[in-house]
Copies of this chain bind each other. A is one copy, B any other.
């Protein structure tokens, strides 16, 4: 394991692509890239309504040790999202309002952490969104090295530094950097398509008819009584 390794420079996707993905949101983006890259639904936002996208700066941190967050913050650029995975399951509060102040000062858009977070009222007041496994006041130490900007499996999904993170009330999704533009196009196409369908459904038309399901249901043996 590459503990102690810090990669200073990573490639990022284009800013307008990232922002476009953020506007589409997690569920649409996840569909648009073939239902790939969803992080576990055990990660939840600390307050409702946030919707972000940004470039992943990844952190692989020992349990109960947030030393590497300080290292990572130095590497943040405007538009980045911190992604922290502990090396083994942990629920400690790795991150609070001081770290958020520092991250915001460097243009960070939010944190995705498969562990705990604290000072959540202050984070809400600051408008710094976090998707975490839990909320926990338990602090951490700074004693053991982890790594920064290495590939991590975070909450069940592979995240590489510079991948695009999309997060909202539906959860968190990762888009590979190289696929970002193509996924955005597919997501926007999907949105246009949904707008039409939404109007038809609102008018009372049925999915059974719009999607022509009556025949396939009958073929599958459905029995109405």
Which residues of A are in contact with B by a Cβ distance under 8 Å? Answer: 1-8, 25-27, 30-31, 33-36, 38, 40-41, 44, 47-49, 51, 62-65, 67, 70-71, 73-74, 87-93, 96-99, 101-102, 104-106, 116, 118-121, 124, 134-139, 141-145, 153, 156-158, 168-171, 173, 194, 197-198, 201-204, 206-208, 211, 213, 216-217, 220-225
Contacts and interface: CB of A to CB of B under 8 A. Distances in A.
A84 to B, nearest CB: 15
A138 B33 contact: no
A51 B121 CA distance: 10
B98 A194 contact: yes
A51 to B, nearest CB: 7
A92 B141 CA distance: 17
A4 B220 contact: yes
Contacts of A208: 70-71, 73-74
B30 A203 contact: no
Nearest to A221: B4
Given A138-B41, A139-B30, A157-B153, A121 B217 contact: no
19 contacts: A1-B33, A4-B223, A6-B224, A27-B93, A35-B139, A38-B136, A40-B89, A64-B90, A70-B206, A88-B136, A97-B198, A98-B198, A101-B198, A102-B207, A105-B203, A106-B204, A121-B169, A137-B173, A142-B211
B30 A137 contact: yes
Contact of A170 (B104, B120, B171): B120
Given A38-B137, A105-B202, A145-B221, 13 more contacts: A1-B35, A35-B139, A47-B48, A62-B64, A64-B65, A70-B211, A73-B208, A102-B207, A135-B171, A141-B143, A143-B144, A144-B220, A153-B157
Contacts of A30: 137-139
Contacts of A118: 27, 170
